[in-house]
Amino acid sequence: MQKRVFLIIVVVSLCSAIAAANEPKYILYTQRIRDSPQTIEPEAESLVRSSFYALDPIIVSIPRWLGNSSTVEHSTVVAAKLDQETCNVITVDLEGITNESDIIESVGNLIVLFNRQFDVSLEQLSLVGFAEGAHLAGGVGEKVKTDLGQQLTKITALDPTAENGELLQHKLSAQDAEFVEVIHTNSGGAGTWEELGHVDYYPNGGDSQPGCDITTGIANACSHERALHLLNEMWSPSNDFVSARCGSVLTLSAENCRWSSLRMGEADVSTSASGIYFLETHSSTPYSRGAYYIGFL
Ligand SMILES: *[C@@H]1O[C@H](CO)[C@@H](O)[C@H](O)[C@H]1NC(C)=O
Ligand SMILES: *[C@@H]1O[C@H](CO)[C@@H](O)[C@H](O)[C@H]1NC(C)=O
C-alpha cells in the first residue's frame, strides 16, 4: 500500500517535471527589484507572491531562438523600459525549448491569466520580440485573439528573421496586434527585408548599420543587434529618430523618401502612420540625428 502511494507520487512528480521542461521560464523585473529579478511561474499564486503589480504596464520580452535569461535582447529591453517608467518587464527564457507551439501556448496563457485573473487590460500590455522572437510574439498575438476575442494592442518587432520554415510556422503579420511596428537593421542578413507590420522602419537603409564592420559578411551580428541598441533612445524623451516615408524598400534613401514629423517608435494605432520609413543614425549613442536633413534643403 505504502509502496503504491510512493510510486504514484514519483510518477506525478515526474510528469510535472516533464511538463515544466517544455515551458519557458519567466523572470520579472521592476524598478524596485531591478538588480534582484524574480523567477515567476505562469500561475496566479506565484504572481501574487512576487513583486508583480497588475496596475502597472507590462512588457513581455521574447528573445531569439533558444535565447536564455542572460541574452542581450533581454538586458536592453529591461534597461530601456525601467529607465523610463514604472512597469513590469517579464523576460522569457527559451533555453532548451525547441517547440514553437509550446512557446506560443505558454506565453499566450500567461497573458490570458493576466487578463482573466488580474484584470489587466490588453492596452496595458505590449510584446517586444527580437529575431525569431518577433514571429513568436506574432503567434502569441494570434493565440490571445483566439482565446480572448480581443487583439493585443502592440507588438514591437526588432530585426525579425526571414521566414524560416524549419524553425517557425507562424510568420509575424499586421493581423497579430492592433499595431505592429518593425525595425529592420540587418535585412538580407540575419533579418528580413519583408514588410511585416503596420509600420516598418529601415534605419540607414535597413541592411548594414554605421560602425558595424560589413567585411564580416552581410549576416552581421552587429547590425542585427543594433535594433536593440536603438531602443533606449527610442523609448526615452530624447527620441529624435525623425523618419521619412518611402514608397518601397527599393527606394530607401534621403532623396527618395518624404520627410515626416514621425519619429521611429512614436506611431501607434491612434496615429495614421503606416508603411515604410527610412532614417539615418549615428554609429554610437546618441544614435538619433534629429531633423538633420533640413540642412540639405
Ligand atoms: C545563456 O546562453 C549563452 C549563450 O548560449 C551562454 O553562454 C550562457 O552561459 C547562458 N546563460 C545562462 C544563465 O544559462
Ligand atoms: C510541439 O508540441 C505539440 C504539443 O504541445 C505537439 O503536438 C507537436 O507535435 C510538437 N511539435 C514538434 C515539432 O515537436
Alpha helices by DSSP H, the chain: 2-21, 44-49, 72-82, 100-118, 132-148, 221-229, 231-234
Cis peptide leading into 286, omega within 30 of 0?
yes
- The closest residue, in CA terms, to atom 5 on ligand 2 is 102
pLDDT in tens, the chain (297 residues): 455 544 444 444 444 444 456 899 999 999 999 999 999 999 999 999 999 999 999 999 999 999 999 999 999 999 999 999 999 999 999 999 999 999 999 999 999 999 999 999 999 999 999 999 999 999 999 999 999 999 999 999 999 999 765 789 999 999 999 999 999 999 999 999 999 999 999 999 999 999 997 666 656 999 999 999 999 999 999 999 999 999 999 999 988 999 988 999 999 989 888 999 999 999 999 999 987 766 554
Instruction: Identify the DSSP state of 216.
Output: G
Residue 219 amino acid letter? A
- The closest residue, in CA terms, to atom 13 on ligand 2 is 99
- Ligand closest to Cα of 101 equals 2
pLDDT the model gives residue 17? 47
Closest C-alpha among 211, 210, 203 to residue 158: 203
What's the predicted TM-score (pTM) here? 0.91
| CB-CB contact of 218 with 193 (8 Å) | no
| CB-CB contact of 118 with 47 (8 Å) | yes
pLDDT the model gives residue 285? 94
pLDDT the model gives residue 98? 93
Give the cell for residue 213. 564592420
The CA 70 to ligand 1 mean position distance, Å, reads 6
Ligand 2 atom nearest residue 99's Cα: 1
For residue 109 and ligand 1, the question of a CB distance below 6 A is answered with no
CA atoms within 13 A on the CB side of 265: 19
- The closest residue, in CA terms, to atom 12 on ligand 2 is 99
Q: Coil, strand, or helix at residue 193?
A: coil
Closest C-alpha among 242, 125, 235, 102 to residue 179: 125
Ligand 1 atom nearest residue 68's Cα: 1
The CA 204 to ligand 2 mean position distance, Å, reads 39
For residue 91 and ligand 1, the question of a CB distance below 6 A is answered with no
Whole-angstrom distance, CA of residue 1 vs CA of residue 6: 9
| CA 133, 139, 142, 148 torsion-angle sign | negative
Query: What value does the CA radius of gyration of the chain take, rounded to a whole number of Å?
Result: 20
